[in-house]
Structure 1
Amino acid sequence: MITDARALRPDFLPRDLHHRDGHIDHLSAVLAPSALDQAEDVCLFGPSGGKTTLAKYTISQLEREVLDFRWGYVNCMADNSRAAVLHECVREIGLGADLKREGTHSSRALDRLRRCEDQIILVLDEIAVLDEQPLLALWEVPNVSLVCITIDEDEWFTALSSQAKSRMQSAATIRLDKYSHGELVDILESRIAHGLIGSRVDDSAVESIADLAAGDARRAIAILRRAADRVETRELRRLTTGVVDDVVEDAEAEMRERRVRSLGTHQRLLYQIIDEAGEIGAATLHQRYEARSSSPKSRPSRRRYLKSLRQYDLIETTGRGRRLGTVHWDNRQTAPFPFTPVHVPFIGRI
């Protein structure tokens, strides 16, 4: 069944990116060699599934055209302190292999960037969890362009200072929508052509996966990967809708595990406290976090982390306006894919 497992991996870059031609052209124009001297920043907004692939695909095409050019990708969920982000940036572009992650001052990483004569593009994923300090530092480097990726545009801008908001609102902006059912079918068929024996995959199974994924390409590929693995390991003849139905919960669990593994130390601690409690009030959550963390983050930082957990369906928060309510994670739920969090009544402030 599986001829090339790489095609089923979430970070696989296809040779052709379907149904994103207009966005590719837009991003390519902003990051074109003739425009890089201006070091323009770019913001990518939209629901889960597609933004990171678009950025990596477009920049990898640019890499073929430009000689004096470097780029790197940093997932800010993993560690979002100033030192950690800047350290990861220089390592990603090949300038910091000798710098130790711990004990290296962020000024050394910035010096490496400033001394580099190449044009640099840094893709900062999950930018909404990031403290502004790394952004302010990177803006001081004239040959660095930032591609900032997050889900909710309004929520991120609301949290920014006036200085950062002014800078980012002047950046080029690309907004992505969820894929349609037909577009997801095309994406799945492309992955099948690259990595599976297509004659053993029922068309109805592809249609079913596209329905279940509800516009999220990452979810669709996760289901396809689990279904193909089920056919392979159990030596089944075909990938059918029955196989898809059998693996939906496994695909859901796999996606959740990937998201949890990508969390930084403090996000993971907040998640663990919520997971252990099943349902917890805001005040209790903060008390337990402060008791268990050796260096607690500020309340604004925690709010950013909780928003990111909510955006990826790991938790559910309820409340009105600036007052968020109960943080809830039902670890016993076996809802159909995709995960639908349970709403609970307001009982406190985060």
Structure 2
Amino acid sequence: MITDARALRHEYVPQDLHHRGGQIDHLSSVLAPSTVELSEDVCLFGPSGAGKTTIAKYTLAQLERERLDIRWGYVNCMADNTPAAVLHELVRDVGLGADLRPEGAARSRAIQRLRNSDDRLFLVLDEVALLDEETLIALWEVPNVSLICITIDEDEWFTALSSQAKSRMQSAATVRLHKYSHSELVDILDSRVVHGLVSARVADGVIEQIADIAAGNAREGIAILRQAAMHVEEREMQELTTAVVDAVVEDAAADIRERRVRSLGTHQRLLLRIIEEAGSIDSGTLHARYEAQAQSPKSKSTRRRYLRSLCRYELIDRDGSTRGTRYIAV
């Protein structure tokens, strides 16, 4: 059934992207201007599953094939949300930090590695709303670095920034993505089938059914397709049918949730565990328990960013506001 498992992973970057040509062209013109001007910074906004990370990686991979003087790196600030971890991952990913160790990668040393490079550096900051502002500004100030900042909620991120950081990031070029339409998501899933499965063993109506369930979220659609293909393989079935899709929808949702939990940093995971253990907990008690259990507690403003991200990714629910806020386990 499965001919290439890579095509069933959400992080897989296909050779051709469907229905994002305009955004890719815009991003390419910003990152590789035809004049001698330096590349701009870019902010990518859009809902989960809209392809933000994919088009950033796709565009940079295309650019890397065309030019010898660029390098690019990627970091997910959801997982690496300490300054040392973010900078170490970026320096390592652009090939400038093989000898650096996370515990020894001081901010100034890592920034200097980037600054000393003769190449143009493009740094993708996924889940940038979780990155501390000081690190963001330090990267912004490196002359040979262009930032590609990715987050879901544009207003929430800008509201949380200081006036200094906000003015700088609002000067960046902006690419906004919408949810995929039903027909667009069908095309994306069809492409994954062609590249990853035996198409003849996928029954009529399956892709349309998955697109209906995913409702414009490519991440969810690909997760359902992957779970359905695994279900057929493991049970040595002849065909992937609509009944198989019905059987794996909950497994796909659980798989997405598990992957998100695995991607969390230490402090986010601790906050999530406290909420799950309580079932429902008021804000004051949550912060008190966190401070009692964390080795080096983060500031309250940072914790609030973490809690917003947990809500955004449907790992917890939130009820109320200010002092009356309660966090509820999902």
TM-score category by the smaller chain? over 0.9
Amino acid at match of 1:40: E
Q: CA deviation at 1:319?
A: 2.2
Measured in 2, the distance between the counterparts of 1:324 and 1:162 equals 28
Which residue identity is paired with 1:224? L
Is the 2:279–2:328 contact (alpha carbons within 8 Å) kept by the matching residues of 1?
yes
Mapped contact 1:40–1:145 kept (Cα < 8 A): yes
Separation in 2 of the partners of 1:235 and 1:267? 40
For structure 2, the residue ranges without an aligned partner over 5 or more in a row are: none
Q: 1:23 to 1:36 in 2, by over 3 A?
A: farther
CA 1:19–1:87 in 2, change beyond 3 Å: closer, same or farther? same
Are positions 1:16 and 2:4 aligned together?
no
TM-score calculated relative to the size of structure 2:
0.97
Contact (CA 8 Å) 2:133, 2:165: kept in 1 or not? yes
Matches within 5 A, 1:312-323: 312-320=313-321
**Greater CA drift, 103-112 or 60-69:** 103-112
Q: Aligned partner of 1:326: which letter?
A: R
Residue 87 of structure 1 and its aligned partner are, at CA, apart by 1.4
CA distance in 2, matches of 1:79, 1:289: 19
Aligned residues: 329
Where does residue 144 of structure 1 map in the other structure? 145
The aligned runs of 1:154-233 (5 Å cut-off) are 154-233=155-234
Q: Which residue of 1 aligns with 2:43?
A: 43
Aligned position for 1:27: 27
Cα distance, 1:207 vs. partner?
Answer: 1.0
Q: Check whether the contact 1:113–1:141 (CA below 8 A) recurs between aligned residues.
A: yes
The AA in structure 1 aligned to 2:167 is: S
Contact residue 317 and residue 324 of structure 1 kept, 8 A: no
The structure-2 alpha-carbon separation of the partners of 1:323 and 1:160, relative to structure 1 and needing over 3 Å to count, comes to: farther
Rounded to whole Å, the distance in 2 between the matches of 1:145 and 1:35 is: 16
Aligned-pair Cα RMSD in Å: 1.3
Work out whether residues 33 and 66 of structure 1, in 8 Å CA contact, stay in contact via their aligned partners in 2: no
SS in 1 for 2:325: strand
* CA drift at 1:81: 2.0
Which residue matches 2:70?
A: 69
What secondary structure does 2:297 align onto?
Answer: coil
Question: Counterparts in 2 of 1:230-269, with a 5 A limit?
Answer: 230-269=231-270
Distance 1:323 1:46 in 2: 30
Distance 1:138 1:145 in 2: 9
Change (3 A) 1:289 1:36: farther
Query: After alignment, is 212-221 or 81-90 more displaced?
Result: 81-90
Contact 1:44 1:174 in 2 (8 A): yes
Q: Which has the higher helix share?
A: 2
AA partner of residue 6 (structure 1): R
Given that 2:91 and 2:110 are in contact with CA atoms closer than 8 Å, whether structure 1 keeps it comes out as yes
Distance in 1 (CA, whole Å) between partners of 2:93 and 2:324 is 36
Q: Structure 1 regions of 5+ residues with no counterpart?
A: 331-350
**Cα offset for 1:184?**
0.7
Shift of 1:103: 2.5
> What's the counterpart of residue 97 of structure 2?
96
1:281–1:326 Cα contact (<8 Å) kept: yes
Distance in 2 between the 1:141 and 1:324 partners? 42
Question: Does the aligned pair in 1 maintain the 2:270–2:290 contact within 8 Å?
Answer: yes
In 2, the alpha carbon distance for the partners of 1:42 and 1:263 equals 25
- Give, in whole Å, the separation in 2 of the partners of 1:106 and 1:113: 11
- The answer to whether the Cα contact below 8 Å between 2:283 and 2:323 also exists between their aligned partners in 1 is no
Q: CA deviation at 1:325?
A: 1.6
The residue type paired with residue 186 of structure 1 is D
Using the TM superposition, give the Cα deviation of residue 288 of structure 1 relative to its aligned residue in structure 2, in angstroms: 0.9
Cα contact 1:39–1:142 (8 A) shared by 2: no
- 1:43 aligned counterpart, secondary structure: strand
2:248 corresponds to which letter in structure 1?
A: V
Q: Does 1:130 align with 2:131?
A: yes
State how 1:251-330 maps to structure 2 within 5 Å. 251-320=252-321, 325-330=325-330
